[in-house]
């Protein structure tokens, strides 16, 4: 039966070349990319054969361990389609061990498996100059390939099972993106290292830990043997063997659980009443505001944007701290930055409606009601953020005299940003993710226009808030009295910018209502 599963995988691979021409071109490009990556990595490992052990050992161990992390996490990040889903074999009466072995071996017939196999073989060349190390490197190559394939197999099965509903996929992708953004401080730390002088020492310190973990043990065993540490090499090889056995047991248990567990489906929720439509005034603006608030709470596209907003200033603060800036001064940064991204996030709000904007046109909704209704959720979030966040920032900064500037600058950025976004969303809508699609999917249309509008809206907000920003800078550098000027300038500029932006945006909306429907349907 194992041989039949292998033949099935070969047939599936062969059928991949019976698709449309463009799909075949994409498949070939993917193969070329995989072969190119494997060739580059193999050439690097071959070149390390001529380097000292003190140089080659940490490089192979660290980046080898990183490759196993990629194999384990990539399926969970991308939700890769599992063409050998164990549930498809549930009616064949196969034993769990036979099915686990067959699917595991069939997973070797894939581009990622070929790439890691080429790399694993290339690392034997790295240690071929040392006879004892070369023997261990051959055994390590087998362990590396099997460990990588089993890790990917477990992750793929978990992804196909746990991420079967759209909501779970969106949440998992959001978590992954937040984690990736959170790595920015680590990137900043690594960037501050003088790699030309201290790079090998840094990698050596990392390898001293990674080499004794399941991720790097197989890579580190030949390196230890080449360095003359035979007992350490055998111990690391033993760790790699035990870890491979653990992975197979986990894979078999997971397969058994998947075969006996029904596939997950999204459950429809039951709601009582009309929600926000019952809480807000029964006017056109109130109805649009209720719908917008509902979107902000339930629509994954809006929820994703809101979840990322507080992460951005956190990453900026950590990065600047690593760069040596004092934490006290950085306390002034988060609130204005969050207000900037909050006001900027609604600059293309009309396109998010897609065909739903037809309801506005059919009911002859005025531009004024549409503009104010769409901005209400941002104001509900933004106003408490400006007031409460500014107080917290001033307390952390340790000087209440800066509170007027904090409120003024943040209010100017928030209110003028919402006013500018009110104009741009009516005048320059560009394709956005469709309702119901993943917030991380790519719109069918787009181009340079989207990037231009995004840049214009982002820097336009800063330009409109410049009077308050300049007054705040003068308050810090020349005279503290300018802090109150920043407060006044921020409130005046913000309120005027908001009212003017809504008014202009309403006029543009009334004039281009039919064009807005056509633009929204281009998504």
Alpha carbons 57 and 235: distance in angstroms, whole number = 16
- Best mean pLDDT range from 24-33, 156-165, 226-235, 320-329: 226-235
- The arithmetic mean of pLDDT across residues 156-168, rounded, is 66
- The arithmetic mean of pLDDT across residues 322-326, rounded, is 72
Distance from the Cα of residue 220 to its chain's centroid: 31
Residue-wise pLDDT tens digits, 301-323: 787 778 788 878 887 877 777 66
Looking at residue 51, what DSSP letter applies?
S
The answer to whether residues 373 and 292 touch, using CB atoms and an 8 Å cutoff, is: yes
Residue-wise pLDDT tens digits, 169-225: 555 565 666 666 666 556 555 655 666 667 778 788 888 888 899 888 998 898 888
**Token pair for residue 11?**
């047939």
pLDDT at 523: 53
In three-state secondary structure terms, 121 is helix
Q: How many residues does the chain have?
A: 523
- The arithmetic mean of pLDDT across residues 374-390, rounded, is 91
- 468 pLDDT higher than 90: yes
Nearest to 505 by CA among 449, 430, 421: 421
| Mean pLDDT rounded to a whole number for the chain | 80
Band of residue 445 on the pLDDT scale cut at 50, 70, 90: very low
pLDDT at 346: 86
In three-state secondary structure terms, 436 is coil
User: pLDDT: is 277 or 411 the higher one?
Assistant: 411
Band of residue 98 on the pLDDT scale cut at 50, 70, 90: confident
pLDDT at 366: 87
In three-state secondary structure terms, 59 is helix
CA geometry: angle 223, 61, 57, nearest 5 deg: 40
- 372 pLDDT higher than 60: yes
Backbone φ and ψ of 164, nearest 5°: -80, -20
- N- to C-terminal Cα separation, the chain: 47
User: pLDDT: is 400 or 316 the higher one?
Assistant: 400
Q: How many CB atoms lie within 10 A of CB 23?
A: 12
Q: Taking every pair of C-alpha atoms in the chain, what is the biggest distance, in angstroms?
A: 83
Q: Which residues, 6+ apart, have CB-to-CB distance to 279 below 8 Å?
A: 290
Alpha carbons 353 and 375: distance in angstroms, whole number = 14
275: left (phi over 0), alpha (psi -120 to 50) or beta: left
pLDDT at 14: 66
Q: What residue spans define the domains of the chain?
A: 2-259, 279-520
Place of tokens 């410049």: 466
């Amino acid at each position: 039966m194992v041989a039949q599963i292998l033949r099935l995988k070969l047939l599936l691979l062969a059928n991949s070349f019976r698709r449309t021409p463009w799909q075949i071109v994409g498949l070939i490009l993917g193969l070329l990319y995989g072969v190119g990556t494997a060739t580059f990595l193999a050439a690097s490992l071959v070149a390390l054969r001529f380097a000292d052990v003190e140089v080659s050992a940490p490089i192979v161990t660290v980046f080898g361990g990183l490759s196993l992390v990629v194999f384990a996490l990539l399926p969970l990040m991308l939700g890769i389609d599992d063409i050998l889903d164990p549930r498809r074999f549930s009616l064949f009466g196969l034993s769990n061990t036979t099915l686990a072995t067959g699917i595991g071996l069939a997973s070797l017939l894939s581009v990622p498996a070929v790439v890691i196999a080429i790399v694993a073989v290339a690392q034997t060349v790295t240690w071929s100059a040392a006879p004892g190390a070369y023997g261990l490197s051959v055994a390590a190559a087998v362990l590396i390939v099997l460990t990588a394939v089993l890790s990917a197999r477990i992750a793929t099965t978990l992804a196909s099972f746990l991420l079967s509903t759209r909501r779970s996929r969106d949440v998992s992708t959001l978590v992954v993106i937040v984690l990736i953004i959170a790595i920015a401080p680590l990137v900043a730390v690594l960037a501050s290292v003088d790699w030309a002088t201290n790079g090998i020492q840094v990698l050596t310190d990392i390898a001293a830990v990674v080499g004794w973990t399941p991720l790097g043990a197989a890579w580190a065993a030949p390196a230890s043997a080449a360095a003359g540490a035979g007992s350490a090499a055998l111990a690391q090889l033993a760790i790699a063997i035990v870890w491979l056995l653990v992975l197979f047991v986990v894979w078999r248990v997971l397969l058994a659980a998947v075969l006996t567990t029904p596939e997950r489906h999204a459950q429809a929720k039951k709601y009582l009443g009309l929600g926000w439509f019952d809480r807000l005034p029964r006017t056109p603006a109130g109805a649009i505001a209720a719908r917008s608030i509902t979107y902000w709470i339930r629509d994954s596209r809006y929820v994703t944007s809101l979840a990322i907003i507080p992460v951005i200033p956190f990453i900026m603060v950590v990065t600047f701290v690593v760069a040596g800036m004092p934490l006290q001064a950085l306390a002034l940064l988060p609130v204005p930055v969050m207000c900037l991204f909050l006001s900027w996030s609604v600059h293309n709000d009309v396109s998010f409606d897609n065909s739903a904007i037809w309801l506005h046109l059919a009911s002859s909704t005025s531009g004024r009601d549409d503009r104010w209704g769409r901005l209400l959720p941002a104001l509900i979030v933004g106003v408490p953020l400006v007031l409460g966040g500014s107080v917290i920032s001033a307390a952390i900064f340790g000087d209440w005299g800066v509170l007027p500037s904090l409120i003024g600058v943040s209010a100017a950025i928030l209110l003028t940003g919402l006013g500018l976004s009110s104009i741009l969303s009516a005048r320059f809508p560009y394709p956005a993710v469709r309702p119901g699609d993943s917030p991380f999917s790519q719109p069918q249309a787009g181009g340079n226009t989207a990037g231009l509008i995004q840049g214009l809206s982002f820097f336009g907000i800063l330009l409109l808030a410049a009077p308050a920003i300049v007054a705040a800078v003068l308050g810090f550098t020349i005279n503290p009295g300018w802090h109150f000027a920043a407060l006044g300038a921020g409130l005046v500029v913000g309120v005027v910018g908001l009212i003017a932006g809504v008014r202009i945006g309403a006029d543009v909306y009334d004039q281009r209502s039919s064009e807005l429907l056509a633009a929204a349907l281009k998504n």
